[in-house]
Amino acid sequence: MVTTAVTAVAGAVPPPPKGKAVTSAATPPPTLTRRHLLVAGATASALRTAPASAAAPKFAEIPGSGGVKALDLREGSGEVPADGDQVATHYYGRLAAKQGWRFDSTYDHKDETGDPMPFVFTIGSGKAGAGMV
């Protein structure tokens, strides 16, 4: 269920100067335009939650990593790399304790053509963090 609230705030009306007569202090009510309704509709669409039947992704703790958890979004189908093999990968690094705050991503690092640069490392070299291998 999605609940949408639209709030209109009018500017504050200062009190009339002392000794002056007030003829009309009425302010016309705000009107909703098509733009307001489109924004409200877009906001409601963006706030829709996933159906209750959708399963939450399962993170797996990496053994010996000190608590690092990983989630394979798309498993590869090729050979499993061995020690000494050089691999290139893209990743997003997020902190679960900070509501998923992204602290690093290969997609943020661009080459001279503007394409994202993959993280390249050698398996077994110790240059990749836990969960990367």
Domain assignment present for residue 105? The answer is yes
- Phi (first) and psi of residue 97, to 5 degrees: -70, -15
If one counts the domains in the chain, the total is: 1
Report pLDDT digits (tens) over 55-102.
767 888 888 888 888 888 788 888 888 999 999 988 888 887 778 888
Domain assignment present for residue 49? The answer is no
pLDDT band at 19 (very low <50, low <70, confident <90, very high): low
Segments forming the whole domain that contains residue 101: 82-124
* Entry pTM: 0.47
Domain assignment present for residue 66? The answer is no
Q: Rounded distance, CA 112 to CA 50, Å?
A: 39
Domain assignment present for residue 94? The answer is yes
Domain assignment present for residue 34? The answer is no
Domain assignment present for residue 4? The answer is no
Domain assignment present for residue 30? The answer is no
Percent of the chain past pLDDT 90, that is, above it, reads: 15
Report pLDDT digits (tens) over 2-14.
333 333 333 444 5
Domain assignment present for residue 97? The answer is yes
E strands in 27-106: 60-61, 69-70, 86-89, 92-95, 101-105
